[in-house]
Chains A and B, each alone.
Chain A
Amino acid sequence: MSFSSLAILTLIGSFLMLRGFQTFQSEGLHFITGFEWTSTVNDGVETSTFGLGSMLIGTLLISGTALVIGVPLSVLTALYLNFYAPMQIRKFMVTILDLMAAFPSILYGLWGYFILMPMAEYWAKLLYKYLGWIPAFSVPQPAFTRSPFVAGLVLAIMIIPIITSVSREVFSQTPLDRIQAAYALGATKWKMIKTVVLPFGSGGVVGGAMLGLGRAMGETVAVYMVLNIAFSANLKVLYGVGGNVASMIVSRWGESTLLESKALLAAGFVLFMMTLAVNFLANFIVKRAIKSGK
């Protein structure tokens, strides 16, 4: 009965593998490293090149942006809730965080597109204006909407609840005697946090960040809505083009030929493997951080 979980998981892996195998056969490693994704039909003969490279880069770019924005905010919130907030505010914010985790991702997509994007565009223009000399913030043309920056922002908001929750748990397990030792030496609250809580909890925060990363990597509809999905290996986070593997699958699905749909299945397999690896690493780190007590 519980072996059903086992069965399902193995089935996922094997089926995607089987169906996508054809693509692997023809493309080989090129499937992962290549940057072109084309499929043309000439006189009934289909020629195609499928390369996930640009989407893998895109996945990393928007997930990375989400982490850069989300992790500091999560850690600050966790510190505030655990060490500074009065009881009422703490309970309230915990409810808010649970609520954030419960919102459907398509809601984030809708809100992200209609409400956040105009603001993000404004911020992107500001960033470009003052920091455009940094290569990552430069753009080939002034196209700031539907950029990896906006996608990263939306993803950051989506992953903040999980990172905050894990961070809070780890921080709350800081051994009391070390905290007392710091205070007895005349430390202020911040000094105590910096010397005792943060070193103790850093492992857990990393684990939480990886859980957030796993979630961000697999996010589909929210990314689809706020990002202009195209196969372009774009590292300029303010420039309006990019994608991640999940949203790419959805965007190409409707009009895909048979061969392409098999490639999309193979892409799904690659995505599955990636998120699996990240999640395992994350769970391992979190467990170890909570158990060891360093």
Chain B
Amino acid sequence: MTTYAPTKPWQPTKVDIGKNVLGLLIALVVSFVVVQLTPMKGKLAYAGVLFISATVIQVGMKWISRGRMAAIDGLASSIAFTGSVIVFLPVVSILYTTISKGVKGLHWTLFTDSMENSSYLDPIGMGGILHAIVGTMYMIIIASVISVPLSILTALYLTEIKGKAAGFIQFLVQAMSGVPSVVAGIFIYAALLLNTSFRGSGITGALPLAILMIPTVTRTAQEVLLLIPNDLREAGQALGATQWKTVITIVVPAARSGLVTAVILGVARIAGETAPLLFTIGGSDKVNWNPFNGPQSALPYYVWKGLISGTPEAVQRSWTAILVLLMIVLFFFSIARYFSRQRMK
């Protein structure tokens, strides 16, 4: 019995790969030479010339070996790749900058002090962001408490109950998802703070965040619920349960991790929101453990204030605070991905 091994004759051979590497090396040399000889300067110039020369060489090689169509195909794939690289670069830059600049402002009392007794202009070692962290924590908790039940119920209504108003509600959720954050802030201000005796506080700060959170959580929850196979629902109803009972006892537990993902995505979204807070949170420099009374702070607000103050110390504070904020957002982001991967299994 003869044995044939599976092969893939269409894949690039070692010779092909070698040619590509050679082309790349030539491109490196060319870009180095070009940059030395012309008035262009800087890392960007190197990178730009490198891309162009690498592309030209690869496309040229293809043209010689396979003709015009293959060369155009090669050009298209190079351009697509370049586009992706360009998209990738800012992310790297943002992460690198935030970490490198933010780290400089880390000190022991950062998490235990507030700005009650210091000013933004003081040297870095003084004061801290405790009030901002407490504030952000309150924002997240209050916004979630308000929006999560509403969102989940709305999602259940839209996917399970599908009542007569479903089309309209869907339409509204869609509309809400487009509300700019500043508009949500202004609305709460106009509704509760303008010409009233109320002043900005934790809860007024959290309300616009809840408005922003609802569409995110609702939409993700909907997607998650739609993935639950119908057999489960039919099984519940075959056992004689009403629709609501089926939903509560069977569908929701089955969708549990997905719903958690939806909530976490919503939290990640609003944890970093700044604009609405400027109108509604009051802005405090000291820790306020009462979210219902008295001005609050929050990490984004703290960052904002530092930027407005403008001095190098203040700006440094902003970088450090945004590093902390980024860590928090990334934390939620990773948890959400972890849960959604659990779901995939």
Q: Could you list which residues of chain A lie within 8 angstroms of chain B, going by C-beta atoms? A: 1-6, 8-9, 11-12, 15-16, 19, 72-77, 79-81, 83-85, 93, 95-100, 102-111, 114-116, 119, 157, 160, 164, 188-191, 193, 214, 217-221, 225, 246, 249-250, 253, 261, 264-265, 268, 271-272, 275-276, 278-280, 283
Name the one of A9, A11, A250 contacting B278, with C-beta atoms under 8 angstroms.
Answer: A250
- Shortest distance between the CB of A73 and any CB in chain B (Å): 5
- Shortest distance between the CB of A79 and any CB in chain B (Å): 5
Q: What 9 additional pairs, Cβ within 8 angstroms, besides A93-B84, A265-B194, A283-B174?
A: A73-B86, A77-B84, A99-B333, A102-B329, A105-B272, A110-B319, A111-B94, A271-B180, A279-B174
User: A77-B87, A100-B91, A249-B182 are contacts. A107–B173 as well, Cβ < 8 Å?
Assistant: no
A80 CA to B81 CA, complexed, in Å: 6
**Contact between A5 and B214, CB atoms less than 8 A apart:** yes
Return chain A residues, CB-CB under 8 Å to B98. Answer: 107, 111
Q: Could you list which residues of chain B lie within 8 angstroms of chain A, going by C-beta atoms? A: 44, 69-70, 72-73, 75-77, 79-84, 86-88, 90-91, 93-94, 97-98, 149-150, 153-154, 157-158, 165, 168-169, 172-184, 186-187, 190-191, 194, 211, 214, 218, 268-269, 271-275, 278-279, 300, 303-304, 307, 318-319, 322, 325-326, 329-330, 333, 337
- Shortest distance between the CB of B266 and any CB in chain A (Å): 12
**Contact between B80 and A3, CB atoms less than 8 A apart:** no
Name the one of B82, B150, B182, B319 contacting A5, with C-beta atoms under 8 angstroms.
Answer: B150
**Contact between A275 and B179, CB atoms less than 8 A apart:** yes
**Contact between B178 and A214, CB atoms less than 8 A apart:** yes
- Shortest distance between the CB of A104 and any CB in chain B (Å): 2
**Contact between A191 and B73, CB atoms less than 8 A apart:** yes
Name the one of A110, A261, A276, A278 contacting B307, with C-beta atoms under 8 angstroms.
Answer: A110
Return chain A residues, CB-CB under 8 Å to B329. Answer: 102-104
Q: Which of A9, A72, A81, A85 has the most CB of B within 10 A?
A: A9
**Contact between B182 and A218, CB atoms less than 8 A apart:** yes
**Considering only CB atoms, which chain B residue lies closest to A89 in the complex?**
B84
**Contact between A221 and B175, CB atoms less than 8 A apart:** no
**Considering only CB atoms, which chain B residue lies closest to A10 in the complex?**
B172
A275 CA to B218 CA, complexed, in Å: 20
**Contact between B268 and A102, CB atoms less than 8 A apart:** yes
Return chain A residues, CB-CB under 8 Å to B82. Answer: 76
**Contact between A5 and B303, CB atoms less than 8 A apart:** no
**Contact between B87 and A164, CB atoms less than 8 A apart:** yes
A8 CA to B207 CA, complexed, in Å: 11
- Shortest distance between the CB of B223 and any CB in chain A (Å): 12
**Contact between A76 and B182, CB atoms less than 8 A apart:** no
- Shortest distance between the CB of A25 and any CB in chain B (Å): 17
A84 CA to B333 CA, complexed, in Å: 27
- Shortest distance between the CB of B71 and any CB in chain A (Å): 10
Return chain B residues, CB-CB under 8 Å to A75. Answer: 83
- Shortest distance between the CB of A81 and any CB in chain B (Å): 7
Closest 5 CB pairs of A and B: A104-B272, A218-B180, A76-B83, A279-B178, A190-B76
- Shortest distance between the CB of B301 and any CB in chain A (Å): 10
**Contact between B165 and A80, CB atoms less than 8 A apart:** no
**Contact between B94 and A272, CB atoms less than 8 A apart:** no
A3 CA to B173 CA, complexed, in Å: 11
- Shortest distance between the CB of B136 and any CB in chain A (Å): 11
> Can you give 30 A-B contacts (C-beta < 8 A)?
A1-B157, A3-B165, A6-B172, A8-B211, A19-B194, A75-B83, A76-B82, A77-B80, A77-B84, A95-B337, A96-B91, A102-B268, A102-B329, A102-B330, A103-B272, A103-B329, A107-B94, A107-B322, A110-B322, A111-B93, A114-B97, A115-B97, A190-B73, A217-B180, A218-B179, A218-B183, A246-B275, A265-B190, A272-B183, A283-B174
**Considering only CB atoms, which chain A residue lies closest to B157 in the complex?**
A2
**Contact between B94 and A12, CB atoms less than 8 A apart:** no
**Contact between B300 and A85, CB atoms less than 8 A apart:** no
**Contact between B87 and A220, CB atoms less than 8 A apart:** no
**Contact between B180 and A9, CB atoms less than 8 A apart:** no
**Considering only CB atoms, which chain A residue lies closest to B270 in the complex?**
A104
**Contact between A6 and B73, CB atoms less than 8 A apart:** no
Return chain B residues, CB-CB under 8 Å to A81. Answer: 84
**Contact between B153 and A220, CB atoms less than 8 A apart:** no
A95 CA to B186 CA, complexed, in Å: 33
Return chain A residues, CB-CB under 8 Å to B76. Answer: 189-190, 193
**Contact between A246 and B180, CB atoms less than 8 A apart:** yes
- Shortest distance between the CB of A53 and any CB in chain B (Å): 19
A37 CA to B165 CA, complexed, in Å: 43
Name the one of B83, B169, B175 contacting A77, with C-beta atoms under 8 angstroms.
Answer: B83
**Contact between A276 and B319, CB atoms less than 8 A apart:** no
User: A3-B165, A99-B91 are contacts. A15–B173 as well, Cβ < 8 Å?
Assistant: no
**Considering only CB atoms, which chain A residue lies closest to B308 in the complex?**
A254
User: A16-B190, A188-B72 are contacts. A272–B179 as well, Cβ < 8 Å?
Assistant: yes
**Contact between B182 and A220, CB atoms less than 8 A apart:** yes
**Contact between B178 and A275, CB atoms less than 8 A apart:** yes
- Shortest distance between the CB of A285 and any CB in chain B (Å): 13
A157 CA to B174 CA, complexed, in Å: 23
Return chain B residues, CB-CB under 8 Å to A102. Answer: 268-269, 329-330, 333
